[in-house]
Structure 1
Amino acid sequence: MNHPDHSPLGKASAYVDQYDVSLLFPIPRLTKRAEIGVGETPPFFGADLWMAFELSWLNLRGKPQVALAQFTIPCETPNIIESKSFKLYLNSFNNTRFLDAAEVQARLRTDISEAAWRGAPQPSSVGVKLLLPELFDREDVAEFDGLNLDRLDVECSRYTPAPDLLTAAFDEGPVAEVLTSNLLKSNCLVTGQPDWGSVRISYSGPQINQEGLLQYIVSFRNHNEFHEQCVERMFMDIWTRCKPLKLTVYARYTRRGGLDISPFRTSHPQALPAAVRTARQ
């Protein structure tokens, strides 16, 4: 079993510019999920939505090509992909010749699918979409819709996850709300480097106390965990303490090393959100 400490994170890494699939480093989801009370069948659906801004390769005549790449990794995969290994893998395309963008896309899909689904009894695929330069100007930037919790003048003094801050009005009628914050910050599980993000929480059920929810989001500030794990922890804490009928937690983290990750978890089947990044991404 791959462990985060064995990944390239926090270590000097050679720059490999010739295609090398062995650079991908999958990490099992199971250990961290067990830590937050996720059983064999998680109470959520969703995906990890990646955006790569530094993808390049050579055509058959040696001329560099560039593209943006979107990856959709279902949360049902047994593994996450460690982000530095993902970057190193993408860099290995830089001086490698491919017939065309379709061949690059197919190679990406094959390799990342194998790593993400490794160990699964019935492996499947991940989603890969390449955006070529002629489509760059169609990329949208927009902030989350919903009521922004950051307007609240709350006192914050806890900077590791504090689920006891979460309360809900169980003696009142249910509501449906969309709440957002730009104050999400956590740290890399291995290096301790800061990860910045925005989060959107949509739910129906007993009304969640907004001051406590904002304080809870802020409480991740000194917490060391990967993006995907933070969002699943947030989902499980709200799900168990506030007991919503429906819940969706969607975070968009700012990019690091030319990659950003936007984990999406929901209690009920629904379409994945559009790939619209925030201004900070």
Structure 2
Amino acid sequence: MPLPEQSPLGKASAYADQYDPTLLCPLERAPKRAEIGIGAAGAPFVGADLWTAYELSWLNARGKPQVALAHITVPCETPCLIESKSFKLYLNSFNQTAFASAQDVQARLRADLGAAVWHGAPQPGTVGVRLIAPEQFDQQSVHELDGLDLDRLDIECHTYQPAPELLRAHHDEAPVSEVLTSRLLKSNCLVTGQPDWGSLRIAYSGAPIDQEGLLQYIVSFRQHQEFHEQCVERIFMDLWTRCRPTKLEVYARYTRRGGLDINPWRTSHPMQLPAHTRTARQ
């Protein structure tokens, strides 16, 4: 299994013009999860990584190019995530390859991505793949994350590496259920250092979380280097352990890079997937 620095990230890459599933680079989730206290007993969350592919194209049987959007759902229980540049290279390998139908493309995506993210699992599962045809493009909506906007707060910020000590909950007050949002999440790629911009939604039940401290904590990721999925799991675990809510949901929508956006979602309790609706910055 390759390490992040052995992935295609930050390296010159030739673009394959014929379908090549070997371009996919799976990376193990376990090492980064161990850093945040998730061990053999498993994580206190379920969820998924919701991908959108905006640059999907192939040839039909007569050689005419076809285009579509794709929504990909990768369960967070998979032992691996997919390194995003390898995903881009893989999708580009469809460009000059003929497929009999969109259904064949969908089936190929589901098989290849499933094999990559479930690599090494004793009982491999599947991934969700939905293709959106051009006649459905007008139905794709843009909507900001619902909730109380933390960015309204006039705070001082001095810390730009994750600082969980900024998080505090008022356990002497009556429990609440609320949804809080911010557009100020920024982290950097673990390998290249390039900026990753995101919007964050936190829903919880329990002792009221101090909102100023929470916003300062979100801002503290500004110079942190970690993949999208890893940042969201770090945020979840910091809130879970320091604020001790009875229920917690953390959802981030990151702006796209290379025709892909990644939107990790983690929740302490089984629930319906969030709507796969992009924000204005996506």
**TM-score under structure 1 length normalisation:** 1.00
Shift of 1:17: 1.2
Measure how far apart 1:38 and its partner are: 1.0
Q: Secondary structure at the match of 2:114?
A: helix
For residues 163-202 of structure 1, the C-alpha deviation after alignment (integer angstroms, 9 at most, x for no partner) is 0000000111111110000000000000000000000000
**1:118-129 matches, cutoff 5 A:** 118-129=119-130
Which residue number in structure 2 is paired with residue 182 of structure 1? Answer: 183
- Correspondence 1:32 to 2:41: no
Greater CA drift, 75-84 or 166-175: 166-175
SS in 2 for 1:181: strand
Task: Return structure 1 stretches of 4+ with deviation > 6 angstroms.
Answer: none
CA deviations on 1:73-105 (whole Å, 9 max, x unpaired) are 000000000000000000000000000100000
Q: Which runs of 5+ in 1 are unaligned?
A: none
Name the SS of the counterpart of 1:212 in structure 2: helix
1:2 is paired with a residue of what secondary structure?
A: coil
Q: Give the 3-state SS of the residue equivalent to 2:275 in structure 1.
A: coil
SS, match of residue 106 in structure 1 = helix
Output the CA distance in 1 between the equivalents of 2:15 and 2:147. 42
Indicate the residue corresponding to 1:83 in structure 2.
Answer: 84
Matching of residue 275 in structure 1 with residue 276 in structure 2: yes
Query: Distance in 2 between the 1:95 and 1:14 partners?
Result: 15
1:116-195 residue pairs with structure 2 within 5 A?
116-195=117-196
- Counterparts of 1:1-281 in structure 2, within 5 Å, are 1-40=1-40, 41-281=42-282
Which residue identity lines up with residue 21 of structure 2 in the other structure? V
- Give the Cα separation in 2 of the matches to 1:86 and 1:68: 14
Q: What root-mean-square deviation, in Å, do the aligned CA atoms of Structure 1 and Structure 2 show?
A: 0.4
User: In structure 1, what is the Cα distance between the partners aligned to 2:214 and 2:144?
Assistant: 19
- The number of equivalent residue pairs is 281
Q: Distance in 1 between matches of 2:77 and 2:236?
A: 16
Matched residues in 1 for 2:17 and 2:30: separation? 32
Deviation at 1:204, TM superposition (A): 0.3
- Partners of 1:39 and 1:264 lie apart in 2 by 20
CA distance in 2 between counterparts of 1:196 and 1:173 reads 34
Amino acid at match of 2:224: H
State the shift of 1:39 in Å.
Answer: 2.1
How many angstroms apart in 2 are the aligned matches of 1:49 and 1:135? 19
Look up the equivalent residue of 2:208 and give its one-letter code: Q
Letter in 1 for 2:6: H
Instruction: Please give the alpha-carbon distance, in whole angstroms, between the structure 2 residues aligned to 1:15 and 1:21.
Output: 13
Instruction: Write the letter of the residue equivalent to 2:155.
Output: V
Q: Which runs of 5+ in 2 are unaligned?
A: none
Identity of aligned residues (%): 72
Q: Distance in 2 between matches of 1:35 and 1:161?
A: 13
**C-alpha displacement of 1:162:** 0.2
